[in-house]
Amino acid sequence: MSNELLNEVTFFVLSIFVGIEVISKVPTILHTPLMSGTNAIHGIILVGAIVIAAGASSPVTIILGLVAVTLATTNVVGGFVVTDRMLEMFKGRKAQKQTTPTK
């Protein structure tokens, strides 16, 4: 096993534990926004798409690169924006406290 691969495997295994640990206490109401947020994070594939698109020269690689960059950008931008829209809905509740008739 090369040094680089060994490093990569190390990162991979540690990331599994971090990924599980970091969201283990999420309340039900945040399941949807959290799913949507992680959805945006895997848009990091845009980095990969840019790497393969950068050196494109043949028609095949040009088409592959173009489609991959387009899809990945849609994932990133759409993912973060839609998550933000969901979470935006939660913010009103503090301001609301004063205006609601209490009894």
Residue 30 CB, shortest distance to another protein, in Å, is 6
Residue holding tokens 């990091």? 44
What is the nearest approach in angstroms of another protein to the Cβ of residue 10? 10
